[in-house]
A = this chain, B = another copy of it.
């Protein structure tokens, strides 16, 4: 941390800054006398509240934080890519993992037929919502435990492991019993009690990016889970809120290479939620793969127009199959040519 004194600060004010730093165990100040200004470097492991304290001291113009606030999620801490195993499916390696299925579990026929179809096309994980976060209290909010049981029926039929959302700490045990990956939704990315609760399990957890979350806040959400002892974290870019309202959200495709630079955790893309329109899902899915995503989350439904949730952004079986062909083609093209170092 660097504390920048204002031009007209006094030696007494500088002394207060120094003594406040010295008062903290393990920290020491180092003064740097410029021509125009004095700058104080803080040596040692910076506590999170020091910046606020410094910023309020008289004579201080600005406080500049240098080290990142997340540790375990950072690539500095863990230079190699992490691989998160979902059963025997590796997320974070060279092959992108596609997780597909309906927005919400509706009935046995829907789940089993979808599971079989997406497996046949190459999906490795089955998605489906049993507990659904809905903007309106009057929308269909999911089948709950019955939905989890139907997901498991589809798993028995196909062998596909399951990813499903858990919305509240009280449901973590139940959802964990019936699934292979716990999904923390975008609206819960800063539901810290939920992050703590999934951090106490040792299951894979997918942390979707909040609608208005910066990269740093997102990695700090992952850090919550990891600080609980669970390092099996997968990140998911699912679109941020911008001024553009034609698409449901704005897919921030650059998030993929940025996260890969800042962190060792795997990152997947969700073209269904980010766009909100089925006809945009394939091009945006391919863009995520081309940008280096470790996988995709895709909504698929036997009859999108009759879906109880998110029909407009769901693919038919046929279109999902075409998408998978293209994903494979783009992914193999990427590995066919050498890549610039960065």
Q: Write the residues of chain A forming the contact surface with B, with a CB cutoff of 8 angstroms.
A: 2, 4, 7, 30, 32, 34-37, 39, 41, 43-44, 48-49, 52-53, 55-57, 61-62, 64, 66-67, 69-70, 76, 133-141, 167-171, 187-188, 190-195, 210-212, 214-217, 220, 223-224, 227, 240-247, 250-258, 261, 274-275, 278-280, 282-284, 286-292, 304-312, 318-319, 322-323, 325-326, 329-330, 332-334, 336-340, 342
Question: Is the contact region of chain A dominated by helix, strand, or loop, or is it mixed?
Answer: mixed
CA distance A138 to B37 in the complex (A): 23
Task: Given A133-B190, A137-B224, A240-B242, verify A170-B169 contact (CB < 8 Å).
Answer: yes
Could you give 22 example pairs across A and B, Cβ below 8 Å? A2-B2, A48-B139, A49-B140, A53-B311, A69-B136, A138-B227, A167-B191, A167-B192, A168-B169, A168-B194, A171-B193, A242-B243, A243-B245, A245-B245, A246-B258, A254-B280, A257-B279, A287-B291, A289-B290, A319-B340, A322-B338, A332-B333
CA distance A292 to B284 in the complex (A): 9
Evaluate contact between B253 and A284: CB separation under 8 angstroms.
Answer: yes
Closest approach, in angstroms, between the C-beta of A278 and any C-beta of chain B? Answer: 8
Evaluate contact between A212 and B215: CB separation under 8 angstroms.
Answer: no
Evaluate contact between B250 and A254: CB separation under 8 angstroms.
Answer: yes
CA distance A326 to B334 in the complex (A): 7
Which residues of the partner chain B approach A279 to less than 8 Å between Cβ atoms? 257, 261, 342
B35, B224, B247: the one within 8 Å of A254 (CB): B247
CA distance A35 to B26 in the complex (A): 12
Closest approach, in angstroms, between the C-beta of A301 and any C-beta of chain B? Answer: 10
Task: Given A48-B139, A57-B305, A190-B133, verify A340-B323 contact (CB < 8 Å).
Answer: yes
Closest approach, in angstroms, between the C-beta of A239 and any C-beta of chain B? Answer: 8
Which residues of the partner chain B approach A138 to less than 8 Å between Cβ atoms? 48, 69, 227
Closest approach, in angstroms, between the C-beta of A59 and any C-beta of chain B? Answer: 12
What residue in chain B is nearest A63 (Cβ atoms)?
B312
Evaluate contact between B193 and A52: CB separation under 8 angstroms.
Answer: no
The 3 closest A-B pairs by CB, nearest first: A212-B212, A333-B333, A279-B342
Task: Given A133-B190, A138-B48, A334-B329, verify A283-B257 contact (CB < 8 Å).
Answer: yes
Closest approach, in angstroms, between the C-beta of A52 and any C-beta of chain B? Answer: 5
Evaluate contact between A66 and B4: CB separation under 8 angstroms.
Answer: yes
Evaluate contact between A250 and B247: CB separation under 8 angstroms.
Answer: no
